[in-house]
Structure 1
Amino acid sequence: GGTGDVLSGVIAALIAQGSDPYAAAVSGVYVHAAAGRRISQRLGDSGLLASDLLPELPLVMHALRQGGL
């Protein structure tokens, strides 16, 4: 799967946790983009794989819950 599959998984997970579908879509896109930004700052813009996003997602979610980002 690609990064779109990761995005749809994030959105589905948020819906499964009780979020409104629209709010889940907006939040999912934000989290997905933030994870991509963090990776590109660390690794550069070229060659990003969908699997690179996975370890970054919980870090982004934690930062959001703590008021960061």
Structure 2
Amino acid sequence: MTRSTYTVTGMTCGHCVSSVTEEISEVDGVTDVAVDLPTGAVTVTSAQPVDDADIRTAVEEAGYRVVA
């Protein structure tokens, strides 16, 4: 099992969290997504390592941004 944490900007409410969670959950291999709204931390759990670019794309499709 692999866990990676990303910082996502622009989330302000529960709907934002749901959008980000839904998009990231569709990435192949992702088994769990945990979002901490106050900090913007998004922890992605997967069976195998997931490409950071795939997570970044999913977050952007939800309308938000991953910051380095």
Specify the structure having the higher radius of gyration (Cα): 1
Higher RCO (CA < 8 A, seq sep 6+): 2
Question: Does the pair score TM above 0.5?
Answer: no
TM-score (ref. length: structure 1): 0.41
Q: Quick check: which one's helix share is greater?
A: 1
Q: Quick check: which one's strand share is greater?
A: 2
